[in-house]
Amino acid sequence: MNFISLRFLIFAGCLLSLFFLIPARWKWLCLLAASYVFYSFAGIKVIVLLAVSTFLVYAAALGLERARTPRMRRLVFVLGLVSGLFGLVVFKYADFFGRLCFAAAGVFKAGIVYKPLGLAYIVGLSFYSFKSISYLIDVYRGKMAAEKHLGYFALYVSFFPQLLMGPIDRAVRFIPELKKRVSFDFDRLASGIELIAWGIFKKIAVADRLALFVNDVFAQPKDQGLYLLFGAYIYAFQIYCDFSGYTDIAIGLSRILGYDSMENFRTPYASRSLPEFWSRWHISLSTWLRDYLFLPIAYRVLRAIKSPTLLSIKAEAWAYGIGIIITWTLGGLWHGAAWTFVIFGAIHGVYLLLSNITKKGRRRFVRRIRLDRLPALRRAIQVFITFNLVSLAWVFFRAESLTAALAFLQKISRQMPATRRGLLVFNILLVVLFIGLEALFKNHARWPMWQKLPRPLRTAAFALFLCLTMILALDANNEFIYFNF
Amino acid sequence: MLWLALFLFLFDRGLFYLIISAENRFYRDPSFAESFQEFIKAKPFSTLILGTSRSFAAFQPDSFETILGQEAFIEARSGKGPKYNWFFYEFYKKCAGPPKVVVYGIDYFIFQTKSKERWLARFDRIHESFAPFSAPSLLLKNKNDIEDFLVDVIARMGPAENKAFRSTQDFVKAQDYVGRETTPGKVVTQKPRDLHVQRYRAYPGKEGPYLKRLLEEWERDGVTVLLIIIPDYVGTNETNFEQQKSLKNLKRLTQGYPNVHIYNFNLSNAFPLKRAEYFYNGGWGKSNCHLSKKGAELFNRLLLEKIAVHYAPAK
């Protein structure tokens, strides 16, 4: 069920009325039932998969606490991981790895052809699988006790605002959040509605409009010249508004219900470096990858090297390099079973590695050209370079295939055909408007002048914003991009 | 909440008023009447072709000249519905007198859609009234018109070719248009599992009374009227599933007008409706469909063969 639909509006209206009317001890049940009803619009099969996977991970976590020997614990843990990942591997990656294996076999002239399973991808699978796995690893590592109440655990996995596109909240934080006593709070309702309205604006008034230009440019890159570069830049904003728009709606809904979801975006395109970008973009995924993939790999590499250096390179540098490349390549693959995503992830891995290697050299260079005396200019240059690097990687993310992505990049030139000039100018104005509004939206609460304004005037500003959304909204009925991941 | 409702109401009206004022300024072009008169006097047009974008894609004035030896003037674009046609015909008559024949392209959705403000502006008929209490939200009620306006503003920021078909001088370029090539994949040839179908909206609908007024006017002017049902791809026909109802409705509407003749080319024995290459869009689940260049060539041959009789000199 799409958040931006009449069907969802009715669903949310009914749920909220019921949720605040029933006694506190039954609220979890109400939300759990609502989450499953919400997800059932994707089909009955997906509900069964969600329920089975939830139960198996729940049982595995309890099993971990009861296992008496380390060997037994490890066995239960592996079984739990397999249960949590089974759906993801089968429905998302079976054909990708199948093709890969058969292609490898083809090298040895095995003469066999892979017949794709053709299983349809299940929306939300990547997100809830990562939630389940993080929970299991946390229990295995002793960071948290296994949840005894199946209902609360099932609610954590299937909590409908987060189910389809995250944030991938951690059990250690979110299960206690779900257990707290909540009651109707007008301020939370108001701020939740504000956030939802902001998310809807980002999706239907910005992202969907920018998509018109982006789709055009990516569909026919021939003779587009400089438009291709603008296409990549505008796609960066499209995907940001699309994804963060969804996240804002999800966080807003949780807030109305009385729960605080984790933050997922912090104006990522204002980042001055790639590591900073990943601390501001899809935070729930990047921290997940850091905690459950990068750190274990890096520690393992460190342990394997055993000496302070290898080939005159510090063991820590090896650990970081190997860890970061593997983590981000897999992070890319998490987005989709295609080489474009693998390359997207690998590019970011290389960026982060290079960023780490060149850190001292860059600082020295800045001092030598005396840029450190002009902090504002330095910041602007850093933001510009980071944005360009990120936009370059987005080309691989957006393109239909690797060949298409490379062809897209090759065709960028200084030539500027007139055909799409109007649309480009409009899109640039829209992005500028969006940046201005985002600065307003994120900071207005901190301004003393805003706080002094009487409530009716603040309401007037919100009403004006809603009218602006109505004017700019595009009735494109586009799905959120991350629904596919 | 009360404050929010109040401010929403006020801003909704205020912004809508601002938008229509901007539209009035944007679209009004006093040069239209003069340039049109100049253009229309250059040739002795015997035929006037009216309709929407489907007619624009289907009828080729050039074929009228080469096959029938008749000069035809086409005034068909997206958003030129019966209301626009009425004002246009009045204006046309003033400039060139009534034509001998009017060819009118009939769409399945003829009574469902509205004429666009950008075209009505040339006759000072844009947003004739501002009714602040006609709907809970004027911005939402007029969303499609606002969107059209925005598209036009964007087009005006672009190059001259983009503007040509949207400007008040669109009629100049329209006369030479010979159709668009088929783009593979644009016509939906596979029937989807859950086919979205389109109901027929019967007369009077949004602008039906204007068509009635036109029929009356044409009868008075002694104009032969050929109402042409343009072919649609088979998938579009299945989508627009109430074809029979639309035909009956049209026949009922034209009863009593001896000068009106209906030609239905949206039949498998009149046109090869299953050949996707004769269309450049439409198909299963798509209610709107346009003939491709190749389709229009065939259609014009078939059409002109049938309607030649109306141009024969009286015995």
DSSP readout, chain B? -HHHHHHHHHHHHHHHHHHHHHHHHHH--THHHHHHHHHHHTS---EEEEESHHHHHH--HHHIIIII---EEEEE-TT--HHHHHHHHHHHHHHH---SEEEEEE-TTTTTS---HHHHGGGT-TT----TTSSS-HHHHTHHHHHHHHHHHHHHHS-HHHHHTTSTTHHHHHTT----PPPTTSSB-SPPSSPPP-PPPPSSTTTHHHHHHHHHHHHHHT-EEEEEE----HHHHHHS--HHHHHHHHHHHHTT-TTEEEEE--STTTS-TT-GGGBSS-BTTBS---B-HHHHHHHHHHHHHHHGGGGSPP-
Using alpha carbons, list the distances in angstroms from residue B27 to B20, B90, B122, B145, B269.
Answer: 10, 20, 8, 13, 43
Cβ–Cβ under 8 Å, residues B207 and B115: yes
Phi, psi of A354 (to 5 degrees): -60, -40
Catalytic residue numbers of A read: 335
Closest of A37, A23, A22 to residue A160, by C-alpha = A37
| Minimum Cα–Cα distance from B3: chain A residue | A456
Among B7, B153, B162, whose Cβ lies nearest the Cβ of A463? B7
Quote the CA–CA distance of A106 and A408 in Å, as a whole number. Answer: 30
CA distance B12 to chain A (A): 6
Cβ–Cβ under 8 Å, residues B288 and B236: yes
Closest of B141, B118, B105, B50 to residue B288, by C-alpha = B105
Quote the CA–CA distance of A471 and A465 in Å, as a whole number. Answer: 10
Quote the CA–CA distance of B286 and B6 in Å, as a whole number. Answer: 40
Contact B3 A460 (CB under 8 A): yes
User: Which of A467, A474, A477 to mutate against chain B (most B CBs within 10 Å)?
Assistant: A467
Contact A470 B7 (CB under 8 A): no
Residue numbers of chain A with a pLDDT score lower than 70: 107-111, 477, 484-485
CA distance A226 to chain B (A): 16
Q: Is A280 helix (H, G, I), strand (E, B) or coil?
A: coil
Q: Is the dihedral of CA A51, A53, A55, A57 positive or negative?
A: negative
CA distance A442 to chain B (A): 21
CA distance B302 to chain A (A): 36
Quote the CA–CA distance of A353 and A328 in Å, as a whole number. Answer: 11
DSSP state, residue A483? G
Contact B162 A422 (CB under 8 A): yes
* Chain B 4-33, residues with CB within 8 Å of chain A CB atoms: 4, 7-8, 10-12, 15, 19
Q: Angle, nearest 10°, between helix axes A208-219 and A226-257? A: 150
User: Which of B141, B154, B161 to mutate against chain A (most A CBs within 10 Å)?
Assistant: B154
Using alpha carbons, list the distances in angstroms from residue A111 to A97, A102, A103, A106, A338.
Answer: 17, 9, 10, 6, 24
Q: Which H or E run includes A310? A: strand A309-310
Using alpha carbons, list the distances in angstroms from residue A260 to A133, A143, A179, A256.
Answer: 21, 21, 12, 9
Closest of B237, B250, B221 to residue B104, by C-alpha = B250
- The residue with tokens 């997206």 is B78
CA distance A426 to chain B (A): 7
Is A462 in the B-facing interface, judged by CB distances under 8 Å? Answer: yes
User: Which of A193, A419, A470, A472 to mutate against chain B (most B CBs within 10 Å)?
Assistant: A470
Phi, psi of A279 (to 5 degrees): -90, 0
Q: What's the pLDDT tens digit per position in A351-394?
A: 999 999 999 999 999 999 998 899 999 999 999 999 999 999 99
Contact A471 B3 (CB under 8 A): no
* CA gyration radius, chain B: 20
Chain A contacts of B147, Cβ < 8 Å?
A: 474-475
Is A423 in the B-facing interface, judged by CB distances under 8 Å? Answer: yes
- The residue with tokens 């601390």 is A279
Cβ–Cβ under 8 Å, residues A281 and A331: no
Chain B contacts of A219, Cβ < 8 Å?
A: none
Mean pLDDT score of chain B: 90
Residues 6+ apart with CB under 8 A from B156: A422, B26, B163, B166
Among B11, B143, B161, whose Cβ lies nearest the Cβ of A463? B11
Predicted local distance difference test score (pLDDT) of residue A445? 76
Q: Is A116 helix (H, G, I), strand (E, B) or coil?
A: coil
| Minimum Cα–Cα distance from B153: chain A residue | A422
How many other C-beta atoms lie within 10 A of the C-beta of residue B297?
16
CA distance A11 to chain B (A): 21
In chain B, what are the domains? 2-126+137-311 (3.40.50.1110)
pTM metric for this prediction: 0.83
Cβ–Cβ under 8 Å, residues B77 and B174: yes
Q: Is A121 helix (H, G, I), strand (E, B) or coil?
A: coil
Predicted local distance difference test score (pLDDT) of residue A477? 67
Closest of B99, B45, B107, B59 to residue B82, by C-alpha = B107
| Minimum Cα–Cα distance from B146: chain A residue | A471
Closest of A399, A397, A371, A396 to residue A385, by C-alpha = A371
- The residue with tokens 């066995």 is A75
Torsion, CA A177, CA A183, CA A184, CA A189, rounded to 10: -10
Q: Is A68 helix (H, G, I), strand (E, B) or coil?
A: coil
How many other C-beta atoms lie within 10 A of the C-beta of residue A146?
20
Using alpha carbons, list the distances in angstroms from residue B270 to A27, B186, B263, B280, B295.
Answer: 64, 23, 10, 19, 13
Predicted local distance difference test score (pLDDT) of residue B315? 54
Quote the CA–CA distance of B76 and B81 in Å, as a whole number. Answer: 9
CA distance B73 to chain A (A): 28
Task: Determine the distance from the C-alpha atom of residue B18 to the mean position of all C-alpha atoms in its chain, rounded to a whole number.
Answer: 28
Is B154 in the A-facing interface, judged by CB distances under 8 Å? Answer: yes
Is B151 in the A-facing interface, judged by CB distances under 8 Å? Answer: no
Predicted local distance difference test score (pLDDT) of residue B157? 79
Contact B7 A460 (CB under 8 A): yes
In our burial notation (b when 16+ CB lie closer than 10 A, e otherwise), range A213-251 reads bbebbbeebeebeebbbbbbbbbbbbbbbbbbbbbbbbb
Closest of A291, A293, A312, A295 to residue A303, by C-alpha = A295
The ipTM value here is 0.80
Among B4, B155, B156, whose Cβ lies nearest the Cβ of A463? B4
How many other C-beta atoms lie within 10 A of the C-beta of residue A128?
28
Is A426 in the B-facing interface, judged by CB distances under 8 Å? Answer: yes
Chain A contacts of B3, Cβ < 8 Å?
A: 455-456, 459-460
Q: What's the pLDDT tens digit per position in B77-136?
A: 988 999 999 999 999 999 999 999 999 999 999 999 989 888 888 887 777 667 888 889
Quote the CA–CA distance of A388 and A450 in Å, as a whole number. Answer: 35
User: Which of B8, B9, B161 to mutate against chain A (most A CBs within 10 Å)?
Assistant: B8
Cβ–Cβ under 8 Å, residues B107 and B54: yes
Is A465 in the B-facing interface, judged by CB distances under 8 Å? Answer: no
CA distance B308 to chain A (A): 41
Cβ–Cβ under 8 Å, residues B209 and B248: no
Say yes or no to pLDDT of B165 above 60: no
Contact B161 A426 (CB under 8 A): no
DSSP state, residue A123? T
Is B147 in the A-facing interface, judged by CB distances under 8 Å? Answer: yes
Among A421, A460, A471, whose Cβ lies nearest the Cβ of B146? A471
Q: What's the pLDDT tens digit per position in B222-233?
A: 999 999 999 999
Q: Residue B256 class from Cβ within 10 Å (0-12 exposed, 13-18 middle, 19+ buried)?
A: exposed
Q: Which H or E run includes A309? A: strand A309-310
Q: Which H or E run includes A133? A: helix A125-140
How many other C-beta atoms lie within 10 A of the C-beta of residue B149?
21
Is A120 in the B-facing interface, judged by CB distances under 8 Å? Answer: no
Closest of A362, A359, A335, A360 to residue A346, by C-alpha = A335
Chain A contacts of B12, Cβ < 8 Å?
A: 467, 470
Q: Residue A360 class from Cβ within 10 Å (0-12 exposed, 13-18 middle, 19+ buried)?
A: exposed
| Minimum Cα–Cα distance from A428: chain B residue | B154
| Minimum Cα–Cα distance from A419: chain B residue | B159
Structure tokens at A332: 């890319």
Predicted local distance difference test score (pLDDT) of residue A471? 94
